[in-house]
Structure 1
Amino acid sequence: MDLLLLLVIFVASILCFLIFRCLEAIRNGVKRVNYGLGNKPPEATGSWPIIGHLHLLAGSQVPHKLLGSMADKFGSIFTIKLGVHRVLVVSNSEMAKECLATNDRVFASRQKAMAIELMGYNYANFGLGPYGPYWHQIRRIVVLELASRHRLQMLEHIRVSEVKSSIIDIYRTWFQKAIRRIVDLFGAFVPSDAIPWLRWLDLGGYEKKMKKTAIEMDVVINGWLEDHKKKKNSTSPLQVDESSNRPVFMAAVLSRVKEEVKEELYGFSTDDIVKASCLV
């Protein structure tokens, strides 16, 4: 029965793909009639049904060499398909400037990925989440409380010692393995990111690993947050570092988010926004 179910799903996927390609061809035909030929960059040949060009990236050639050889063949701007996603490839400085400087807002957002969902507090992590009003507001809060020139100068004399002591403490207790694992998982290729309907199969066991890692990280980060909330409720409105009499970053972000982030918190809880922002 399991084999039969998989066969039915596979056949249905093929049919859906063929229907999608037919509809896409019809849309492209309409676009050519309305706007003329040459309006879209060429798509590289070698695309397979469903997976697109993913099989090329699975070869022995490293990705930048592969894309370079494809640019020699298809030109300095072309597209490839990574599963259901169409990706634009540019390979000269003028086009890179157009994408990353002149029209940077068009390309500023980020593709959804299971790692960001499961280990980034469901896209509340502004460093990896989509570009938009929420990203702007949280980024502004973080810059004001941590990365502004005034704040950098104010914390300069304690930064080195604090970083050293924190790294030693984290390394000895818990983060040594978890941080290594989260970096590996954020950089891993997850099949369902390219082909979403494969997620239920959890190929490679990535979803299970990410959920486990997210829980391990949250235990520590949530513990810090709860400590700050208890101190805030029992002492002054804004906690300070005892050695310098200056506000603590996590407590400062918590206060600012409560005061400034409206719009029903963009669908995120206050705690998740603070934890995700501090995790960055």
Structure 2
Amino acid sequence: METTLHSYFTAVLITTFLFFLFYVRRRRCHHLNLPPTIPGFLPIIGHLHLLRRQPNQPLHRTLAFLSSTYGPILLLRFGSRPVLTVSSTSAVEECLTTNDIIFANRPLLISTKYLAFNSSIIGTAPYGPHWRNLRRIATIELLSTSRINSLARIRANEIRSLVHSLFSTATDQWNRAEMKTILKKLSFNSMMRMVVGEKYSEERFCIMIEEALKLSVSSCVEDFVPWVSWLGLVGTKRRLMRLGKEMDERFQNMVDERRRRRAVEEKALIDVMLALQQEEPQRYSDEIIKGMLWVLIAAGTDTSSGTMEWALSLLLNHPKTLQNAREEIDFHVGHDRLITDSDLPHLHYLQNIIKETLRLYPAGPLLLPHQSSTDCTVEGYNIASGTMLLINVYAIQRDPKLWKEAESFKPERFDEGEGSEGFQFFPFGSGRRKCPGEVMANRMMGLTLGALVQCFEWERVGEEMVDLTEGEGLSLPKLVPLELKYKPREVMMNVLSQL
């Protein structure tokens, strides 16, 4: 009885205190020029309940709807966190240009604490000397054009393996294939060979990466309502802790094993980092190397495979565009060899297809969240320090005021200059926190999509158009995995039979 009364008294005290804070905050906010908000605010949870009004609706679509209704700049409350959502080019330019340093920070989240080595990896680390060192390693040592060129043979081998696998299981008639699994396997194997020098066929490792990617975007209630941890509502947190421990052990084993086997013929990105560690052990710790491995493998696998699945889906729904791409490849590459890295600069239409796919289905529809480090203003509105920033790339890249026939798939629009001004097209982000892997991703996607178009005929499995419903996830996956029909092209049989 005494315990029950004590718990009741504690709950009342906490609730009273929270309402008091809410009242004080509201009084203070009246003196500031704050961005517009939306109706439906509730104490403690803020606007969180409004984000699930439509079941299975991805967050970027919900925020796009709210922006179209209430304005392109909105200040929401996700529990205790103020969240600024922007979906106009002028606001994005002010955030990522004028206030670039202020918004160069990342929010500290439960998922990044346990799955990103205590938020120390390049994508989640706070802005400062540590992050600048990570950025330098990524851009100069690992993802420079010369380094990417040096890995061309690995990419070519993996593309040949993919094409050979499809060809060897094909008949003269149409054959069915589920492309989500095929493309994910290709991307995973390619990244593993480029990053650590070998494929990892162990099923648990693949499952671990998949689980980590899913949990990375799972909302942990404690991120927005911290005091729920007192109530023991920490199921997601426990999963994150368990998975984070396993990831740390596995990546450490990977580093230790590679360190013992340095005298290998094919140098991978991990060897570059281990060589740097020998020269400057304090600057290149095992923690930094493990974090880089995780980022390269996860981001390189998920974003590339997802975008290629979207691209194939769009091409199947637009057979004329598919034919145009094939004619371009036939003209520049021919039928006597497979497409290579060196062909890509000449295949402008193929590059436009990838751009248009990324416009409609950006791999990060809200980018990674930013956070303000000091008070600032955006479009004349006062933004407090510690405000999370969500940039709705998805909404901007489909804005009918910026794009002709914004919802249509038209790769040729980029030849006409669309998307070239300001912040109209930026699927890899912009500013200091722009994704450093853009060149690597475009190279892998162009080579893969080009080889598939060059070597095979593709059709939908039925008369119905391919379902383009979006799922939920870090890289905007298709809700329904792509299944299609294919058969080898007659003009490529000589090349295919020699793979």
Residue by residue over 1:208-264, the C-alpha shift from the partner in whole angstroms, topping out at 9 and shown as x without a partner, is 111211122222211122234456xxxxxxx46424699813413534652546xxx
- SS in structure 1 at match of 2:140: helix
2:65 and 2:146 map into 1 onto residues whose CA distance is 48
Partner of 1:248: helix, strand, or coil? helix
SS of equivalent to 2:102: coil
Give the match for residue 80 of structure 2: 84
Q: 2:287 maps to which residue? A: 272
Give the secondary structure class of the aligned counterpart of 2:103. Answer: coil
- In structure 2, the residue matched to 1:40 is 34
- AA aligned opposite 1:15: T
Q: 1:74 to 1:139 in 2, by over 3 A?
A: same
In structure 2, give the amino acid aligned to 1:226: D
Shift of 1:161: 4.2
Q: Counterpart of 1:28 in structure 2: which amino acid?
A: C
Separation in structure 1 between the aligned mates of residue 191 and residue 75 of structure 2, nearest angstrom:
47
The 2-side partners of 1:165 and 1:21 are apart by: 48
Do the aligned partners of residues 56 and 10 (structure 1) sit closer, same or farther apart at CA in structure 2, a change above 3 Å counting? farther
CA distance in 1, matches of 2:232, 2:150: 47
User: Pick from 258, 272, 286: which aligns with 1:249?
Assistant: 272
- Equivalent residue number for residue 147 of structure 1: 143
Task: Specify which of 67, 74, 86 is matched with residue 63 of structure 2.
Answer: 67
Equivalent residue for 2:206, pick from 176, 200, 213: 176
Distance 1:206 1:253 in 2: 37
Aligned to 1:227: 257
1:115 matched to 2:116: no
Aligned residues: 258
Is structure 2 residue 121 aligned with structure 1 residue 125?
Answer: yes
Structure with more helix by fraction: 1
- Please report how far the alpha carbon of residue 10 of structure 1 lies from its aligned counterpart in structure 2 after TM superposition: 3.0
Aligned to 1:134: 130
Aligned to 2:225: 195
Unaligned runs of at least 5 residues, structure 2: 159-188, 296-499
Classify 1:122/1:76 alpha carbon distance in 2 versus 1 (closer, same or farther; 3 Å). Answer: same
Name the TM-score, length of structure 1 as normaliser: 0.78
Q: Tell me the distance in 1 between the aligned counterparts of 2:93 and 2:268.
A: 45
Contact 2:104 2:127 in 1 (8 A): yes
- Counterpart CA distance in 1 for 2:102 and 2:190 is 39
TM-score by length of 2: 0.46
- 1:177-212 alpha-carbon deviations (Å, 9 max, x no partner): 111111110011111011112234453611111121
1:133-173 CA distance string (max 9 Å, x none): 21111120122221112222223223454844947842434
- Maintained 8 Å contact 1:240/1:248: no
Matched position secondary structure for 1:258: coil
Note closer, same or farther for the CA distance 1:8–1:113 as it changes in structure 2 (3 Å cut).
farther
Match of 2:237 in 1: 207
Contact 2:36-2:74 within 8 A present in 1 as well? yes
Task: Check conservation: 1:46, 1:53, Cα contact below 8 A.
Answer: yes
Distance in 2 (CA, whole Å) between partners of 1:96 and 1:256 is: 40
Is this contact kept in 2: 1:253–1:274, CA < 8 A? no
Separation in structure 1 between the aligned mates of residue 286 and residue 269 of structure 2, nearest angstrom: 22
Q: Give, in whole Å, the separation in 2 of the partners of 1:241 and 1:213.
A: 31
CA–CA separation in structure 2 for the residues paired with 1:142 and 1:51 = 38
Does the Cα contact within 8 Å between 1:79 and 1:86 map onto a contact in 2?
Answer: yes
Compute the displacement of 1:273 (Å).
2.1
Residue 267 of structure 1 aligns with which residue?
none
The 1:195–1:252 alpha-carbon spacing in structure 2 relative to 1, beyond 3 Å, is farther
Secondary structure (helix, strand or coil) at the match of 2:202 reads: helix
Contact 1:240–1:247 under 8 Å retained in 2? no
Between the two proteins, what is the percent identity of the paired residues? 28
CA offsets 1:9-39 (integer angstroms, 9 cap, x no match): 432332221221232234335x45xxxxxx2
Question: Partners in 1 of 2:267 and 2:215 — Cα distance?
Answer: 37
Kept in 1, the 8 Å contact 2:79–2:224? The answer is yes
Shift of the 69–226 alpha-carbon distance from structure 1 to 2, 3 Å rule, reads: closer
| Structure possessing the higher relative contact order (Cα contacts under 8 Å, 6 or more residues apart) | 2
SS in 2 for 1:107: helix
Say whether 1:21 aligns with 2:22.
Answer: yes
Contiguous gaps of at least 5 residues in structure 1: 33-38, 232-238, 262-269
Q: Which moved more, 1:251-260 or 1:218-227?
A: 251-260
Q: 1:91 to 1:4 in 2, by over 3 A?
A: farther
Report the CA distance between 1:128 and its aligned residue: 2.0
